A and B are shown apart, each in its own frame.
Chain A
Amino acid sequence: MIEPVALEHFFFFFFAAALVIFAALAYALSYSFSRLYRNKTLLYVAGLAYGVLILAVFWLSWLANLHGFWYALVGMMLFGYGVAPILIWRLSVATHD
Chain B
Amino acid sequence: MSRPLDSRHLNGGQKLAVKYFIVAVILFFAQLVFGMLAGVQYLHPDFLHGVLDFNVNRMVHINAMIVWMLYGFIGSVYWFLEEESGREIVGLKLGNWGFWVLTAAVTVVVAVYLLVQTGPGNDFTRWFINEGREYIEAPRWADIGIVVVMLIFFYNVAATFIKGRWSGIAGVLTLDLVALAGLYLAGMFYVTNISIDQYWWWWVIHLWVEATWEVLVGCIMAWTLMHLLGVRRKIVETWLYIEVALMFGSGILGLGHHYFWIGSPEYWLAIGGFFSALEPIPLVAMVVHSIYDSGVHKLRNRNHPALAWVIAHAFGNFLGAGVWGFMHTLPQINLYTHGTQWTTSHGHLAFYGAYATINIAFFYLAVQQWRGNVWMGANLVGAWRWKWALTLLSVGVMGMTMALLIAGYEQSFIERAVGGSSWSAYFAAQTHPWFMESMAWRMVFGWITIAGFVLLAWDLLVIGKHETREAETLVEEPALVGG
Which residues in B have their C-beta under 8 angstroms from that of A73?
273-274, 277
Q: Flag whether A64 is at the interface (Cβ < 8 A).
A: yes
Known contacts A36-B296, A73-B273, A92-B289; A17/B327 CB under 8 A: yes
Query: Is the CB–CB distance between B322 and A2 below 8 Å?
Result: no
Q: Is the interface of B mostly helix, strand, loop or mixed?
A: helix
CB distance from A45 to the nearest CB of B (A): 14
Query: Which residues of A13-37 are within 8 A (CB) of B?
Result: 13-14, 17-18, 20-22, 24-25, 28-29, 31-33, 36
**Count: A-B pairs, CB below 8 Å:** 123
Give CA–CA (A14, B274) in the complex, Å: 17
Q: Is the CB of B280 within 8 A of A24?
A: yes
Whether the Cβ atoms of A88 and B295 lie closer than 8 Å is no
Please report which residues of chain B, range 373-426, place their CB below 8 angstroms from some CB of chain A when the two chains form the complex: 409, 412-413, 417-418
Residues of B within 8 A of A76 (CB): 274, 277-278
Say whether A81 contacts B292, CB under 8 Å.
no
B336 touches A85 (CB 8 A): no
For residues 51 through 97 of chain A, which have their beta carbon under 8 Å from a beta carbon of chain B?
A: 64-66, 69-70, 72-73, 76-77, 80-81, 84-85, 88-89, 91-93, 95-96
Q: Which residues of the partner chain B approach A72 to less than 8 Å between Cβ atoms?
A: 274
Contact assessment for A21 and B333 in the assembled complex, using a CB-CB cutoff below 8 Å: no
User: What chain A residues lie within 8 Å of B291 (beta carbons)?
Assistant: 29, 32-33, 36
- Chain A nearest CB, measured from B256 CB (Å): 13
Do A85 and B285 touch (CB < 8 A)? yes
Tell me the smallest distance from the CB of A29 to a CB of chain B, in Å.
6
Q: Which B residues are CB-close (under 8 A) to A91? A: 238-239, 242
Total B residues in contact with A, Cβ cutoff 8 Å: 43
- Pair A21/B295 contact, Cβ less than 8 Å: no
**Pairwise interchain contact B413-A7, C-beta atoms closer than 8 A:** yes
Instruction: For B239, list chain A residues within 8 Å (CB).
Output: 91-92, 95
**How near does chain B come to A62, taking the closest CB pair, in angstroms?**
11
Interface string of B232-244 (1 = CB under 8 A from A): 1011001100100
Does B254 reach chain A (CB closer than 8 Å)?
Answer: no
In angstroms, Cα B291 to Cα A72, docked, is 31
Please, how many angstroms separate the alpha-carbon atoms of A3 and B273 in the complex? 13
How far is A95 from B235 in the complex, measured between Cα atoms in Å? 6
Say yes or no: A32 contacts B287, CB within 8 Å.
yes
Whether B288 contacts A31 by the Cβ 8 Å rule is yes
Given A7-B417, A72-B274, A76-B274: A25 and B284 interface contact (C-beta under 8 Å): yes
For chain A, the count of residues having a C-beta within 8 Å of the partner chain is 42
8 A Cβ contacts from B313-371 to A: 318, 322-323, 326-327, 330-333, 335-336
Interface centre among B293, B330, B331, B413 (most CB of A within 10 A): B330
> B333–A32 contact, CB under 8 A?
no
* Contact status A77-B333, CB under 8 Å: no
Would B235 and A20 count as touching, CB distance under 8 A? no
Is B269 on the interface with A (CB-CB < 8 A)?
Answer: yes
The yes or no answer to B281 lying at the interface (CB within 8 A) is yes
**Min C-beta distance of B332 to chain A, whole Å:** 4
Q: In the bound complex, what is the Cα–Cα distance between A67 and B239 (angstroms)?
A: 36
Q: Does B270 contact A (CB under 8 A)?
A: yes
Q: Is the CB of B326 within 8 A of A89?
A: no
Contact (A21, B280) CB under 8 Å given A3-B332, A13-B333, A32-B292:
yes
Cα separation A95 to B231 with both chains bound (whole Å)? 12
Q: Does the CB pair A28–B287 fall under 8 Å?
A: yes
Query: Closest chain B residue to A65 by CB distance?
Result: B332
Which residues in B have their C-beta under 8 angstroms from that of A93? 292
A25 touches B274 (CB 8 A): no
B333: chain A residues at CB < 8 Å are 4-5, 10, 13-14, 17, 64
Please determine whether A81 and B326 come into contact, CB atoms closer than 8 angstroms: no
- Chain B residue numbers with a CB within 8 Å of A84 are 246, 281-282, 284-285, 288
Distance to closest chain A CB from B413 (angstroms): 7
In the complex, 22 of the A-B residue pairs with CB atoms within 8 angstroms, ordered by the A residue number, are A1-B269, A2-B273, A2-B332, A2-B335, A4-B336, A5-B333, A10-B333, A20-B326, A21-B280, A28-B285, A28-B288, A29-B291, A31-B288, A33-B291, A36-B295, A76-B278, A84-B246, A84-B285, A88-B289, A91-B242, A93-B292, A96-B232
B residues touching A (Cβ–Cβ < 8 Å)? Answer: 232, 234-235, 238-239, 242, 246, 266, 269-270, 273-274, 277-278, 280-282, 284-285, 287-289, 291-293, 295-296, 318, 322-323, 326-327, 330-333, 335-336, 409, 412-413, 417-418
Given contacts A33-B295, A70-B270, 6 further A-B contacts (CB under 8 A): A32-B295, A36-B295, A64-B330, A70-B273, A88-B285, A93-B292
